[in-house]
């Protein structure tokens, strides 16, 4: 579904992705783990088209998309839940969700709003509240719901468990599993490697702008380097 080859990206003159290669197959949950500053967010932004790349190619459903503007990538089925949630603070929960469907021209928002509410029942009680007034957990649910409103085929999740209470982390994980069962393809970036590996099919480990390890999630979980560096065992 998504195939990234030798992608390089820089902030100004400082290159932070030194040629990243990874792929995500249809219906998979792939997780990308790595320490602070490894370049995970930069890669996610490059996939969505909000971070320019200097080299390499990004293919989505076999189509090269690296030249496409961000809005075209959303229209073709890539949706991202960005790091730090990034909800539209002045707008209500409802409006945040409606805007999630901005690129869609097919109707029936009501049904999709209902679907998001079914996934995150807690949103219904705060339907008219401005997103800026929500708790971190509520904002994270909203950010995921907003991304789902675009009806994506590929969902990019950048640290969805960051700053969440443990029970909410579990809830988010169960939602991700449910989405996979709904045949959504997911690329999940996580600091919480244990959680990510527990639900992923495959995993990549990234260090300072390069993929250093990849394989089935179970293999990665068993790898002694990963156990030391990311699982604290």
Ligand X SMILES: Nc1ncnc2c1ncn2[C@@H]1O[C@H](COP(=O)(O)OP(=O)(O)OP(=O)(O)O)[C@@H](O)[C@H]1O
* Residues near Mg ion, by CB under 5 A: 40-41, 83
Among 4, 20, 34, 203, binds ligand X (CB under 6 A): 34
Among 5, 28, 95, 201, binds another protein (CB under 8 A): 95
- Look at strands 14-24 and 154-158 and give their pairing: unpaired
3-state DSSP assignment of residue 153: coil
Write out the two tokens for 59.
Answer: 């293919």
Among 15, 28, 55, 83, binds ligand X (CB under 6 A): 83
User: Is residue 68 part of the contact set for ligand X (CB under 6 A)?
Assistant: no
Q: Which stretch binds another protein (CB under 8 A): 3-11, 23-31, 70-78, 121-129?
A: 70-78
Residue 86 DSSP code: -
Q: Are 165 and 135 in contact (CB under 8 A)?
A: no
Question: What does the DSSP assignment read for 106-139?
Answer: S--HHHHHHHHHHH-GGGGGGTTSBGGGS-HHHH
CA gap 147, 97 in Å, rounded: 8
Site string for ligand X, 188-207 (x = CB under 6 A): ---x----------------
Among 11, 71, 182, 228, binds ligand X (CB under 6 A): 11
Among 25, 37, 52, 136, binds ligand X (CB under 6 A): 37
Among 16, 27, 28, 91, binds another protein (CB under 8 A): 91
Q: Are 164 and 136 in contact (CB under 8 A)?
A: yes
Q: Are 103 and 49 in contact (CB under 8 A)?
A: no
Task: Give Dmax (Cα) for the chain.
Answer: 50
User: Is residue 150 part of the contact set for another protein (CB under 8 A)?
Assistant: yes
CA gap 210, 16 in Å, rounded: 9
Question: In the bound complex, what is the minimum distance in angstroms from residue 102's beta carbon to another protein?
Answer: 5
Give the residues lining the site for another protein (CB under 8 A). 48-50, 69-71, 73-75, 79-80, 82, 86-91, 95, 98-100, 102-103, 146-147, 150
Give the residues lining the site for ligand X (CB under 6 A). 11, 16, 34, 36-42, 83, 191
């Amino acid at each position: 579904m998504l195939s990234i080859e030798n992608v390089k990206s820089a902030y100004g003159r400082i290159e932070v992705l030194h040629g990243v290669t990874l792929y995500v197959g249809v219906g998979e949950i792939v997780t990308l783990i790595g320490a602070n500053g490894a370049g995970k967010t930069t890669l996610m932004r490059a996939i969505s088209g909000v971070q320019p790349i200097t080299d390499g190619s990004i293919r989505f459903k076999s189509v090269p998309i690296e030249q496409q503007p961000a809005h075209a990538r959303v229209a073709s089925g890539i949706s991202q839940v960005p790091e730090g949630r990034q909800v539209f603070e002045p707008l209500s929960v409802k409006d945040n969700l409606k805007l999630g469907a901005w690129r869609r021209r097919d109707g029936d928002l009501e049904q999709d709003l209902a679907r998001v509410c079914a996934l995150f029942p807690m949103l219904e009680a705060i339907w008219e509240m401005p997103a800026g007034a929500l708790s971190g957990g509520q904002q994270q649910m909203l950010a995921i719901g907003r991304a789902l409103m675009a009806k994506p085929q590929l969902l990019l999740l950048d640290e969805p468990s960051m700053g969440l209470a443990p029970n909410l982390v579990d809830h988010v994980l169960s939602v991700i599993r449910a989405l996979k069962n709904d045949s959504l393809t997911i690329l999940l970036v996580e600091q919480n490697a244990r959680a990510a590996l527990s639900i992923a099919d495959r995993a990549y480990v990234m260090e300072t702008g390069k993929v250093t390890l990849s394989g089935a999630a179970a293999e990665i979980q068993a790898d002694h380097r990963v156990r030391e560096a990311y699982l604290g065992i």
